[in-house]
């Protein structure tokens, strides 16, 4: 597969580059603060950068007409609407978390939301490395979106933590918690590779990582 990465010099950009190289895929396009590299037209475009890069990525995606994966977090509702708009022209994946474990945590959360008594308290917490720019994390927002009401989130920025999330449910008699820990960024890169293989087969449409994971 010929692929392109926007944000190639970043932590995720490099993790994706290493994994894709190991699996025999070819980087033919990249973009970062130091400029553009273009060897060929990619079959898929992958953005792990910052929300402020979105307009550039949208331009590249429209110009090249290639399936695009958005892994960046911290987008505004308006920016998410632009990504949805793009998906009417080309196939798009947008997900705030590309790990299998978090998708299972989301499914578990949906089950608990439907089955626990309504008067239980709910709290989300997340911890990430000190360099993370957005707060709360995109994943915490995705977990909170399962509910029809606002859920309080606590965010910690600590050392080099790749990503911890937990959701706790409490009644007067008990506390139930569901936790997830990403042990490295490779797990996200693996989810991106799975998504890339899927999205290059599609015509148009907007997909989440959950759609891709549970499609088989």
Kindly state whether residue 17 participates in binding ligand NAD, applying the rule CB under 6 A. Answer: no
The site map against ligand NAD for 98-137 (x = CB under 6 A) is: x---------------------------------x-x---
- Nearest approach, Cβ of 10 to ligand NAD (angstroms)? 2
Kindly state whether residue 97 participates in binding ligand NAD, applying the rule CB under 6 A. Answer: yes
Interacting residue with ligand NAD among 32, 164, 168, 211 (CB under 6 A) = 32
Dihedral (Cα; 10, 14, 16, 22), 10-degree rounding: 180
Helix (H) or strand (E) holding 106: helix 100-115
Sheet containing 164-170: give its strands across.
152-157, 121-128, 164-170, 175-181
Q: Which long-range contacts (CB under 8 A, 24 or more apart) does 167-171 make?
A: 167/105, 167/109, 167/122, 167/123, 167/124, 167/143, 168/121, 168/122, 168/123, 168/124, 168/125, 169/112, 169/116, 169/120, 169/121, 169/122, 170/120, 170/121, 170/122, 170/123, 171/117, 171/119, 171/120, 171/121
Q: Based on the residue annotation, tell me whether 132 is a catalytic residue of this protein.
A: yes
Kindly state whether residue 11 participates in binding ligand NAD, applying the rule CB under 6 A. Answer: yes
User: With CB under 6 A as the contact rule, which of the stretches 82-90, 93-101, 150-158, 196-204 interacts with ligand NAD?
Assistant: 93-101
- Nearest approach, Cβ of 93 to ligand NAD (angstroms)? 10
User: Hey, how many other C-beta atoms are within 10 angstroms of the C-beta on 15?
Assistant: 19
Kindly state whether residue 7 participates in binding ligand NAD, applying the rule CB under 6 A. Answer: yes
- Nearest approach, Cβ of 19 to ligand NAD (angstroms)? 13
The one catalytic residue in 25, 107, 128, 152 is 128
Active site residues: 128, 132
Binding site for ligand NAD (CB under 6 A): 7, 9-13, 32-33, 48-50, 52-53, 71-74, 95-98, 132, 134, 188
């Amino acid at each position: 597969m010929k692929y392109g990465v926007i944000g190639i010099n970043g932590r995720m950009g490099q993790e994706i580059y290493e994994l894709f190289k190991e699996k025999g895929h070819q980087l033919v396009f990249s973009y970062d603060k130091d400029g553009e590299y273009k060897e060929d037209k990619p079959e898929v475009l992958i953005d792990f950068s910052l929300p402020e890069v979105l307009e550039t990525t949208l331009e590249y995606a429209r110009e090249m007409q290639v399936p695009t994966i958005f892994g960046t977090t911290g987008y505004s509702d308006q920016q998410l609407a632009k990504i949805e708009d793009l998906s009417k022209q080309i196939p798009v994946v947008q997900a705030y978390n590309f790990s299998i474990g978090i998708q299972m945590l989301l499914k578990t959360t949906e089950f608990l939301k439907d089955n626990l008594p309504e008067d239980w308290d709910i709290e989300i917490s997340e911890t990430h490395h000190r360099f993370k720019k957005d707060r709360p994390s995109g994943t915490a927002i995705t977990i909170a979106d399962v509910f029809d009401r606002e859920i309080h989130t606590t965010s910690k920025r600590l050392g080099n933590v790749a990503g911890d999330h937990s959701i706790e449910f409490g009644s007067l008699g008990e506390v139930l918690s569901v936790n997830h820990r990403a042990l490295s960024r490779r797990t996200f890169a693996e989810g991106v590779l799975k998504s890339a293989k899927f999205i290059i087969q599609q015509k148009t449409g907007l997909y989440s990582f959950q759609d891709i994971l549970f499609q088989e």
